[in-house]
Structure 1
């Protein structure tokens, strides 16, 4: 599962860049400007994560019934308010520091990339795309994406994405690449999409329908227009 680190989750929400780890750590030993930025970013990320952890633990104690509140409740409230202010400040510094570090480092690209299922919203999980050929990507859903769409494919392949000559993206839902490559009826060709993220999301939407009572053993070609539109929602 991606984005269990609070700092990485905040960065993804702000920039749509999904990092598998705090990659700036590899620059913290450098004795140059990039190293300075990496150390600032690393320190800020640690403080940001600590503040989020504190708030996560403090809130439940402040929402108990009045009769159960402790004598130090007022001090705890003041402490939480101060932590919220610090959280907001650190959030801003975190993104600024990350943006500055990113000017010197390439993130993503290559034969593997990670996309938020919904841009700006990590709550719906991440799709990992692994290149299988110059034109095709294997799409894998992380645990959070599988849970968000209620499909039994956490950490498993959900389909194949291909780039068309027209610059669009064709999506084929399958749980095994061999199904798509052989033209098996267990591979479901979905409508082409204008962008990669929507194509990935349509795979999850299809499996969500496929594992629901509304499927009724239909193929994508047999769906109603409204249902086809919902695949891209």
Structure 2
């Protein structure tokens, strides 16, 4: 184990920021190549080292390589995706229907990261005021896995257009376990230079300088140098 007090080298720092900026929600570029077990183990270990409120570690990891199970998930997606398409009309609906929003069967393996809402008992340190901290903690496990996957050259796609109760039933989850993230994992033909929804014209990244407030909502930060840097050096990584 390395010394946790050792400063990161410039190369290590740059690698972290590269993973953050080049992480993508992958839907269309999956290759059939399997993920080696040692690599998959590293991804799961990265997820398991996420921070959690009260150290409750509410996550579990369901690996799904069964085609019949994944076909059931696709059926749930198709049902919910049709409902979602009806939220839009005209050209916007046409654009929506032409978006690739899942790679459930194309990716070599799927992963459902769940949140056990009973883990840690009735009183978890730090959870008294905000009971959703178990969900927030599990989201951090998702992010850890996602960044580690990008560093390993593996794409991840989060499929959120799913009925959670139907998903829970399909995966035989206990009542107190919530299916927080259904992910598609696999090597990819390419990582896009910008998020796919931005590339397809659905939405663009918001300017960071417009999202930074000072000492309260709507007030500009008093740190003029920071404001100048954020304005003069917009995120070019997509």
Q: TM-score, normalised by structure 1?
A: 0.23
Which structure features the higher share of strand residues?
1
Q: TM-score, normalised by structure 2?
A: 0.23
Q: Flag the structure with more relative contact order, 1 or 2, with Cα contacts below 8 A and sequence separation at least 6.
A: 2
Which structure features the higher share of helix residues?
1
